[in-house]
Structure 1
Amino acid sequence: MPDARTPPTRRPNFLLFITDQQRADHLGAYGNPVVRTPHLDRLAAGGWQADRCHVASPICMPNRGSLMTGRMPSVHGARHNGIPLPLDARTFVERLREEGWRTALVGKSHLQNITGFPAQYPRADAPPTRGEARRQPAGRYDQEREPSWDGDPAFELDLPFYGFESVDLVINHGDTAGGHYRRWLQREHPGVAAVVGPEHAIPTPEFELSRCRQAWRTRVPEELSTTSFVAMRTRERLSRFAAGGQPFFVQCSFPDPHHPFTPPGRFWDMYRPEDMTLPPSFHMARSGPMPHLDWMHAERDQGKAVKHSPAMFAANEREVREALALNYGSIAHIDEAIGSVLRHLESLGLEQDTVVIFTSDHGDYFGDHQLLWKGPLHYQGLTRVPLIWHDPDAALAGRSSQLCSTIDLAPTILARAGCTPYNGIQGRSLLDRQAPPRQALLIEEEGQRVMFGFPGRTRMRTLQTERHRLSIYAGAEWGELYDLHDDPHESRNLWDDAGHATLRHELLHQLSRLMIEAADESPSPTALA
């Protein structure tokens, strides 16, 4: 790739594909032998692929905020789901728009709250307060709230929305997703809109995930699914921008393959649960302090596991096999949709002027250590995401094993565009060939929920190095330490191992330094005190 200090000969377009809750190894290009993703595999083969890209936080809103700002969640303000990205936050999309790029978002945003649940002041697990230390910046924070869209057919976003001059919004997951998608389906296909949801689904009594409403066989045909809608609207947006003559940035954001799983038509049974292979750690013996994982398993074994919510739970073998099969079907559907967008890009004659990027907002356990979904246990399957960069003008190709983060996307896109970044970006441009490789990454998580038997909500920090992963939890004397070279499935927690005491102290020191480096530097001081 060109050096970041060398401006491009022409202003490129950008097409960013992002999926929701897709781990890196659920792509053929990342070594998965089962799921079929020919279009994404071809994109990776002709571009650059990061093998060690980790999220800033393995939760939707915080990491999407980090992607948009190039800043850590503790700095940009959306620390966990339920806290919107402040409307006064600077985004790289806004910066591109300032420099003349047309900007559009198609699909999921999730930069603001989507549920109708009210704020809790104070929370049940917190001491009494009188208000908040920080006031919410002015502006509308109801713009992605699903009840607002459902209750008012004229409800709309204020544009530009975090830098996007146009938005075709999809809210939530499954065939009941809302926003512009629901309105389109109700207007253009009212008969189909009337049969969405688990209560109208094709019966699948053999699926355990159907019983807890984590999967259902939808009656929505493939061509009317949320995935197809997002691809269709993206193609339309590309056509409009192509006629305008200005460079553009289009974010094509699929709400799948996040649960609940509703892959339509042939994608439901494209893969059979019986054919799925459980991850190696599912039956692997464990050692070292693991009270959090033991707690999850005990909840399941005592029949207390909550399986109908978005939160993680310990699963049985059948549930994991079903989740894998349906996830693969959803990914195959997305891959076909991406293929249609790429063909349209080519038909418009834009393929030689457009940087195409693919990533995900976070991963999923999918049976790692008998868990499903996501939560405050930073196994590699959860924090490691795909990152593919296909650039017609770039010299760099192949694969990279260097550590990179979600926060690196904003400065990399701005560097490729030739735009001066704003102060406070914490990521690094992946185009800067003069910069030394990262030695470690910081991953943050602030939980909404009380878990693992902790007295309050789970809060943690993780240090990810080339060889090790260290995680610490607020209020816990124990932590996690894994040697990923010797133990790639993270089954031997070395936290209490006497032979690794020095290493643990060294990594804790490294983590403390990273946390200091992650402190905000914006705004810059304007005068000496």
Structure 2
Amino acid sequence: MATKPNILWFCADQMRYDTIASLGNSEIRTPNIDRLVASGTTFENCYVQNQICTPSRASFLTGRYPAAHQVYRNGNSHFPVEEKLITKTFDENGYDCGLVGKLHLSTAAHLESRPDDGYRHFEWCQNPAWERVPASNAYWTWLRNKGVDPKMLFSDAKQYLRIGPEPELHQANWIAERAISFMEEARSGPWLLSLNPFDPHPPFDPPERFLARFGDGETLTPPLFRQSDIAHQARFFDVRTQKRVAVNPVLSPEEKRTQQIEEGDIRGSKPPDRFDGKKVKAAYYAMIENLDAAFGRILDHLENTGAIDNTVIIFTSDHGELLGDHGLIYKGCRFFEGLVRVPLIFAGKGIGKGHRSRAMVETIDIAPTLLDLVGLDISPAIQGKSLGPLMTGKSIPDTHKDCVVTDFNDSLGNSAVTHYTQASMTCDGRYKLAVYHSHPGLGELFDLHEDPDEFVCRWNDPAYASLKSDLLARHLDRMMGTVPAGPERVAPA
């Protein structure tokens, strides 16, 4: 019997789709992610099922929509015992499973309660800047073993924009080092390794070495913004987000001269009232370049040992970052491309090399794809659809789903907005419809072909009334389609 492939699953935190050099961003350097793009298949239209960490991770780790697994909230008390993680399935089928970094399937404010996750090896670090329970942060243990005091290293961690640890002491380097150690362990069967760094999640704190070439970001393209964004966002003032009031992200020379960096919070969830969008983008890009360097160490090890020939590699993120677009920053219940669209790259034996698919795909498609690629059965409970045929030449590479879904229901805990918020989005690649169910009459409709930067909302445009009606009907059908029927029927009655 052929040896099943290893699986390396690298999931960045809050990384937008448009931050990879070989996929069109000329301002950033990502040579190692570019290596993966060249050796694998990239899905350029991958959308998350929720814009917030826990519900998004619950979705792609189960292959199920939020309406199915019911993990809609960050800060939830527990992960449902009846939900099965894909990593547990691999554990049951002979894989040695490991995790380094975040899990975040339930509240991690102190010490996260692990579900039956299937991980034999578990090195947990929810946030590199804190340790709420002694000896619980594996990254801090690594730092202490190097003679470094983590509390001193992160003494100014409340600033939303600052200089972070240098690469040698950075969480990304810890992840690379621990990943290599895990891969070097002697074992008789295949392994699955989940690598879940905190970056480029706020606070924006790259190593100075990577930030240096960007400076204050003056040469970077400014965030997407028109003055009309301020009035448009005012309509969503009571919608649960982290940045409530839109501002012009491009500062005047006088504003740059006098601006003081506002204090945020150690969680990276309290955005500034006013910010320099170019400076923020510079820090964000520098964080990704540091992450790319650590990812490169892992790829080098796989290549140098020959293990890359029998390893499926996935690179993705749990959700994006608004990054100043439309005057907003961080995350919340908004559906702009920068927040709901993420990278998704697969590479490995039998997967097309250098292929780029424009198919509409969802992160819940990752779980069934992995099962498909290694020859394991896909449970009927999984709602995602395997991308295997698109990567192996067995189906049309740009056709997968007619539209994708993002579903928010009281998902964000850290927000100045206390108003209950429920909203959902469907998008077919051209028309994006967002319905704010908790706010009657509030919605958005964008034509991404005519308006790819999402400046002109057609929700109340009479010329789009008929189309809007059709899209609302499809939206209802698609959202109802995410609700499972419950336990398997075993008898007629």
Structures share fold, TM-score greater than 0.5:
yes
Residue type of the alignment partner of 1:181:
Y
Counterpart residue number, 2:202: 259
Is residue 136 of structure 2 the alignment partner of residue 167 of structure 1?
Answer: no
Separation of aligned partners in 1, 2:417 and 2:440:
9
**Structure 1 position 468, deviation (Å):** 0.9
**Structure 1 position 9, deviation (Å):** 5.3
- TM-score normalised over the length of structure 1: 0.81
Counterpart residue number, 1:249: 192
Q: 1:468 to 1:285 in 2, by over 3 A?
A: same
Counterpart residue number, 2:439: 475
**Structure 1 position 85, deviation (Å):** 2.6
**Structure 1 position 275, deviation (Å):** 2.5
| Aligned residue pair count | 464
Q: 1:366 to 1:244 in 2, by over 3 A?
A: same
Counterpart pick for 1:283 among 223, 226, 230 = 226
Counterpart residue number, 2:161: 215
Contact 2:224 2:326 in 1 (8 A): yes
Is residue 36 of structure 2 the alignment partner of residue 43 of structure 1?
Answer: yes
Separation of aligned partners in 2, 1:451 and 1:15:
31
Counterpart pick for 1:59 among 32, 49, 52 = 52
Of all paired residues, the percent bearing the same amino acid is 29
- TM-score normalised over the length of structure 2: 0.87
DSSP 3-state at the match of 2:484: coil
Counterpart pick for 1:361 among 301, 318, 330 = 318
Range with greater deviation from structure 2 (87-96 or 223-232): 87-96
DSSP 3-state at the match of 1:195: helix
Contact 1:355 1:391 in 2 (8 A): yes
Separation of aligned partners in 2, 1:521 and 1:431:
26
Counterpart residue number, 1:328: 285
Q: 1:231 to 1:27 in 2, by over 3 A?
A: same
**Which aligned pairs between 1:478-497 and structure 2 lie closer than 5 A?**
478-497=442-461
Q: 1:306 to 1:523 in 2, by over 3 A?
A: farther
Cα offsets for 1:451-480 (capped at 9, x unmatched): 999872221000111201110112221210
Separation of aligned partners in 1, 2:231 and 2:442:
10
**Structure 1 position 193, deviation (Å):** 2.4
Separation of aligned partners in 1, 2:476 and 2:64:
18
**Structure 1 position 381, deviation (Å):** 0.4
Range with greater deviation from structure 2 (460-469 or 444-453): 444-453
Contact 1:286 1:492 in 2 (8 A): no
Residue type of the alignment partner of 2:13:
D
Cα offsets for 1:308-354 (capped at 9, x unmatched): 47447575452x22221111111111111111111111222211101
**Structure 1 position 372, deviation (Å):** 0.8
Range with greater deviation from structure 2 (83-92 or 474-483): 83-92
Separation of aligned partners in 2, 1:176 and 1:358:
27
**Structure 1 position 89, deviation (Å):** 1.4
DSSP 3-state at the match of 1:351: helix
Counterpart residue number, 2:258: none
Counterpart residue number, 1:462: 425
**Structure 1 position 189, deviation (Å):** 2.9
Counterpart residue number, 2:184: 239
Is residue 403 of structure 2 the alignment partner of residue 440 of structure 1?
Answer: yes
Counterpart pick for 1:12 among 5, 20, 23 = 5
Q: 1:164 to 1:379 in 2, by over 3 A?
A: same
Counterpart pick for 1:92 among 78, 86, 93 = 86
Is residue 334 of structure 2 the alignment partner of residue 377 of structure 1?
Answer: yes
Counterpart residue number, 2:257: none
Counterpart pick for 1:415 among 366, 372, 375 = 372
Is residue 391 of structure 2 the alignment partner of residue 430 of structure 1?
Answer: no
Counterpart residue number, 2:25: 32
DSSP 3-state at the match of 2:299: helix
Q: 1:396 to 1:439 in 2, by over 3 A?
A: farther
Q: 1:87 to 1:224 in 2, by over 3 A?
A: farther
Residue type of the alignment partner of 1:97:
D
Separation of aligned partners in 1, 2:264 and 2:150:
27
CA RMSD of aligned residues (A): 2.8
**Structure 1 position 182, deviation (Å):** 1.4
Q: 1:384 to 1:259 in 2, by over 3 A?
A: same
Counterpart pick for 1:525 among 474, 489, 492 = 489
Counterpart residue number, 1:114: 108
Unmatched 5+ stretches in structure 1: 1-7, 117-141, 145-156, 202-211
**Structure 1 position 495, deviation (Å):** 0.5
Q: 1:194 to 1:298 in 2, by over 3 A?
A: closer
Is residue 186 of structure 2 the alignment partner of residue 228 of structure 1?
Answer: no
**Which aligned pairs between 1:146-161 and structure 2 lie closer than 5 A?**
161=116
Is residue 140 of structure 2 the alignment partner of residue 182 of structure 1?
Answer: yes
Counterpart residue number, 1:273: 216
Separation of aligned partners in 1, 2:37 and 2:99:
23
Cα offsets for 1:374-421 (capped at 9, x unmatched): 111110000000001112222464100010000000000000010001
Contact 1:231 1:340 in 2 (8 A): yes
Q: 1:429 to 1:448 in 2, by over 3 A?
A: closer
Contact 1:289 1:479 in 2 (8 A): no
